[in-house]
Amino acid sequence: QVQLVESGGGVVQPGRSLRVSCAASGFSFSSYGIHWVRQAPAKGLEWVALISYDGSDKYYADSVKGRFTISRDNSKNTVYLQMNSLRPEDTAVYYCAKSLVDWGQGTLVTVSS
Amino acid sequence: AILMTQSPSSLSASVGDRVTITCRASQGIRNDLGWYQQKPGKAPEFLIHAASTLQSGVPSRFSGSGSGTDFTLTISSLQPEDFATYYCLQDYDYPWTFGQGTKVEIK
């Protein structure tokens, strides 16, 4: 069955960087686009980014454009979200999702001094 | 970015009630709209795509309708497991955007 496992979350100071990962299994990874969606504590869902099946197309929310970079390694069935210049308002659970149908369990990123 | 506005932001209902949630887009999005259900501490679950097509395995008491700017999610007879927060998502144009959510609580 489809499985998506996020990792790499943690506590980071404002202005620093962090990379979260999404390891996929149970489907033909190189055939699907993968999204990142985040949810700040007690808040709603916010779509963050999408990478196409082959990595050739990438799209971002206005709130992260220029600071976050999505990438993928199809040989490792893994998608990454590189987050630079982090702000307290980036604190959230970060979910990856296959075509926004199948979701991982999320990884918590806390930006705090 | 396209703004998605859901109403109400919360509602109280009883088991067996018919519940309707609306979602309005700031511009026309054809039928490029999905609905998600989220329970506390869990990842969202995909309910409906293309405004009205039920995802496999989703109970038939859920239905969606609408096109253009106005959409609805209806639960025909609310069940105990349906108490959750519901979100709409437009996938018409990037950046994709969610509504702010509607929390369905027990009366």
B43 to A45: CB separation less than 8 angstroms, yes or no? no
The average pLDDT across B85-94 equals 98
- Element housing B64 (H / E): strand B62-67
pLDDT bracket for residue A96 (50, 70, 90): very high
Residues comprising chain B, all counted: 107
> Is some CB atom of chain A closer than 8 A to the CB atom of B81?
no
Q: Which residues of A touch B98 (CB under 8 A)?
A: 44-47
Q: For residue B81, what pLDDT is reported? A: 95
The average pLDDT across A63-85 equals 98
The average pLDDT across B35-49 equals 97
**How far is it, in rounded angstroms, from Cα A4 to Cα A78?**
9
- Please calculate the CA angle B5-B6-B12 and round it to the nearest 5 degrees: 155
The average pLDDT across B57-80 equals 97
Q: For residue A100, what pLDDT is reported? A: 87
Question: How much of chain A exceeds pLDDT 90, in percent?
Answer: 99
The average pLDDT across A50-78 equals 98
Strand partners, A20: A81
pLDDT bracket for residue B107 (50, 70, 90): confident
Q: pLDDT (tens digit, 9 = 90+) per residue, A8-53? A: 999 999 999 999 999 999 999 999 999 999 999 999 999 999 999 9
The mean pLDDT of chain B is: 97
A100 to B91: CB separation less than 8 angstroms, yes or no? yes
Q: For residue A103, what pLDDT is reported? A: 97
B43 to A104: CB separation less than 8 angstroms, yes or no? yes
Q: For residue B11, what pLDDT is reported? A: 97
Q: How many CB atoms lie within 10 A of CB A87?
A: 13
**How far is it, in rounded angstroms, from Cα A80 to Cα A97?**
12
DSSP state string for A61-82 = -TTTTTTEEEEEETTTTEEEEE
Looking at chain B from residue 30 to 49, which residues have their Cβ under 8 Å from any Cβ of chain A? 34, 36, 38, 43-46
Question: How is residue B15 written in tokens?
Answer: 């088991």
The mean pLDDT of chain A is: 97
B96 to A50: CB separation less than 8 angstroms, yes or no? yes
The average pLDDT across A86-94 equals 98
Q: For residue A36, what pLDDT is reported? A: 98
The average pLDDT across A79-85 equals 98
B55 to A46: CB separation less than 8 angstroms, yes or no? no
Question: How much of chain B exceeds pLDDT 90, in percent?
Answer: 98
Report the residue from B46, B87, B94 with minimal CB separation from A45: B87
Report the residue from B55, B94, B98 with minimal CB separation from A45: B98
Nearest alpha-carbon partner for B90 in B51, B42, B46: B51
> Is some CB atom of chain A closer than 8 A to the CB atom of B1?
yes
Most A CBs within 10 Å, among B2, B98, B100, to test the A interface? B98
B36 to A44: CB separation less than 8 angstroms, yes or no? no
